[in-house]
Structure formats: C-alpha cells, structure tokens
Amino acid sequence: MSAFKDALFDGKTVFVAGGTSGINLGIAKRLGELGARVAVAGRNPEKAAAAAAQIGGADKAMGLSCDVRDYDAVRAAMVSVTEAFGPLDIVVSGAAGNFLSPASGLSSNAFRTVVDIDLNGTFNVFRGSYDLLRKPGASLIAITAGQAVNARLRGAVRRLHDPRARRSRRTPAPPRPASTNWFACWPWSGDRKASASTASRPARSPAPKAWPA
C-alpha cells in the first residue's frame, strides 16, 4: 500500500538534476509512477537515456546530458524540458560530488570541485529554472550538503524570490537543512503543507526590489 494518492502528480512537470542514479533516480521514478512527466539530467548521456527509459516512454520521460557547473548547459536543458512538457512544477537539485577523505588529504582542486558541484551547481539549477516555473505552485527541492546551504546557498536563493512577493501572503522562504541534514524543500508559492514535514521553516524575508543582474 502506498502512502501517496494515485496520480498525485498527474500533469506535473519535474526536472531532476543528478537524476541518473542513486536517491535522485529513485525520486524521479517515484514521481513518474505518481503521474509526473520527468526529465533527468546528468553528465553522462548514456546514463541519462537509461534512467529515462526506467521512468517511461518519450511522452513521459526525458534524459538530458548537462553539467550543473555549466549554467548555460543547465539552462538549455531546462528550456528543452519546458518546450516538450510545459512549465516546471518541481525542480530537484541533487547533483553532488564528494571525496571520502579528511581535509588534510584533500587537494585544493578537489575541494573546489565539490563546492562547484554542490553549491554553485545548486544555484545554477534554481537560477536557470526561475522564469520557467509554474507560478504559483512550483516547488524547489535541494538535496545538498547542509554546510553549503548554511554558508552560501541560503543567501543566494534568497535572491530568487519573486519581486511581487511583497504582495503575497505566502512568500517562499530559502531552504534550511532538515533534520536529516541533506534535504530541504519549500513551495515556490502556495500551501506550505506541500513542504517536507521535517523541514524547518525560517521567518519570511523581504523580496528584492529588483531581480539581480
């Protein structure tokens, strides 16, 4: 027995960065089972195609090749998804890079790579999706290191607020790491019940006066 209502995401469009393997592929497959049209993106085109095939046919799933460190590539992938499936209802940023090593054994280049994928990549995914989201109602989900969210991502995503948010009673809040320390979710607009039950909800912050250049 499933905890989710049948066809819960019927008609919704989902983009999952890093969705070609692991937990992200599991998320993509489950959303597809619940009715969503799903696009998965990863650096390896063969893995992307294979992952999409596990989700459904061409009318149900897309496999895209892009590196989240490359903003233009991420943006192009998202545009192709909206052209095929329509506005984005859910964006999952789950691409990650890790080295199992103590700091003393990590090279500066390796550390830079982790930051570029986990932190800058998450920003690229969310920034690239901004004008492609269905408003109101879209959700952004970040699966990343809690340290990245606390240090930089939180401030960066704060600037993704809709400039019209001052006139809304439901201003979206930037993500905080949840109790699991790797999952953060918040609704772009709409019912806050849509966010993860374990996610903390920070106080609302003012919307920017203008979209940053």
Nearest to 66 by CA among 89, 91, 40, 88: 40
Q: pLDDT tens, 50-91?
A: 999 999 999 999 999 999 999 999 999 999 999 999 999 999
Q: Is the pLDDT of residue 187 over 50?
A: no
Q: How far apart are CA 147 and CA 161, in angstroms?
A: 22
Residue extents of the structural domains in the chain: 13-194
- State the fold for domain 13-194: Rossmann fold (3.40.50)
Q: Is the pLDDT of residue 157 over 80?
A: no
Q: pLDDT tens, 21-55?
A: 999 999 999 999 999 999 999 999 999 999 999 99
